[in-house]
Amino acid sequence: MNTRNKEWRSSMRLTVDYNYMMKKFIGSDGFKDSELAEMKESAAQAFNYVAEHRGKGMMGWTELPYNQKEIVEDIIATAKEVRRKFKYFVVLGIGGSALGPIAVFNALCHLHYNDLAPSKRRGPKFYVEDNVDPERMKALLDVIEPEKTCFNVITKSGATSETMAQYLIISDILNKVLGEKANENIIATTDHAKGNLIKLAKQHNYKTFYIPDGVGGRFSELCPVGLLPAAVLGLDIKAMLAGAAYMDGVCNKPSIAKNPALACAVLQVMAMNRGKNVGVMMPYADSLKTMSDWYCQLWAESLGKNVTLDGKPCNVGQTPVKSLGVTDQHSQVQLYTEGPFDKVVTFLSVKNYREEFPIPHGCEDIPDVSFLGGHTMNELIAAENKATAYALAKAGRQSYTVWLPEVNEFTLGELMYLFELQTAYAGAMFNIDTFNQPGVEAGKQATFALLGKKGYEAKRAELDSAPAAEDKYIV
């Protein structure tokens, strides 16, 4: 993968096709060219806002493609040692600390990676534990050997209840099995100075990587949060960062016609202003299936806000929904085609799949089957993708397509950076704080109170004084 070759980079450039957002293609629910032109000033202001705040406050993520040279070398060296020593690699994290690593793993590794023989894998078996379902923890312990496992604990604050509960369980097991050598099986990824996990890391001498200042969880995949798991899997993390940097360069103009991330943001904001409160992401590639999960957090947690930066009530945002082509043509597309006009569909489409699979001739006496012979699965999935987009357009429904030339480390870096910029631009257009998540905190505080955490006595009293459930409303 020659990421420095200009011609190769150009061949790997993502593109955004938004013809099916426009009135001339889908009819009355589409946008006129004049309406798009009316967004020019708002788009330029959003572009300038993001440009002016790069690397500041909670926009430290914008500089990740450029400022991690030494860190990347440390990650690569550590990953090599992990692959040498361990049979399993387990991420303990939640939210962006889990969804990013999962998305990259599924996109770039064999779809049955853990089932492959060790000789056919580039790294240890890989698991991400992003929930506290007790059955899930037991299931993990049934398939790994803790003494042969490297656990990557990821939490910036070290106060994430779910992750730290997992840590307590795993560290207890390791202490019993390995004694004073238990620390060799844990890598901490956390804040460099603040929080509980950095204290534990120093106390127990864990190998530690740091989450940079200004990088929130949902924007953290291109820092050690995501880069270490990817490197352990044998993936080219330098190419991922190169792809992100390339997309940053592509998006360096305040023009809807030339900046694909800005175009996506403008189209979504226009759609939301017309009542399109549901954003469907529909990859036509199993490898990109969990990219929708990562995107859902990025889009929902960033844009779902009830107040603007100047204190005005707003209640903005769009509900992201994940779908998979062609699987969900047989479950959800009926709704998208004939249901309410409240959705925008974003297709993730791949021009060149990494494999080609021919469909043999057969069943010649059954025309409904025989026509498939002589084609390939590549042709079939591409045809179904095109047909679904066309059917939605014929029904007057809005969609646009993000085209990946192929799925590799470089294009994945492009894609994730594209979506991060899109989100930042959209937040700027809504004049909201794109990078906080106050709505998440209420649930956390209630959980702390219910489990008896000190300092949350008032919240516990509030919960205890809530109206009791009535039997007549329980069926």
Count of Cβ atoms closer than 10 Å to residue 246 Cβ: 22
271 backbone dihedrals φ, ψ, rounded to 5°: -65, -45
Beta strands per DSSP E along 102-155: 125-129, 149-154
Q: Are 90 and 127 in contact (CB under 8 A)?
A: yes
Spatial CB neighbours of 468, under 8 Å, sequence gap ≥ 6: none
**How many CB atoms are located within 10 Å of the residue 117 CB?**
6
Characterize the bridge pairing of strands 278-283 and 319-322: parallel
| Catalytic-role residue among 129, 162, 301, 414 | 301
Which residue from 248, 328, 247, 235 is spatially nearest to 281, judged by alpha carbons?
A: 328
Active-site position among 32, 194, 444, 457:
444
Known catalytic residue: 204? no
Phi, psi of 287 (to 5 degrees): -65, -25
* 330 counts as catalytic: yes
Which residues neighbour 276 within 8 Å (Cβ) at sequence distance 6 or greater?
268, 318, 341, 342, 343, 344, 398
Nearest partner of 61 among 449, 434, 462, 459, judged by Cα:
434
- Ramachandran assignment for 323, one of left (phi > 0), alpha (psi -120 to 50 degrees), beta (any other): beta
Active site residues: 301, 330, 444
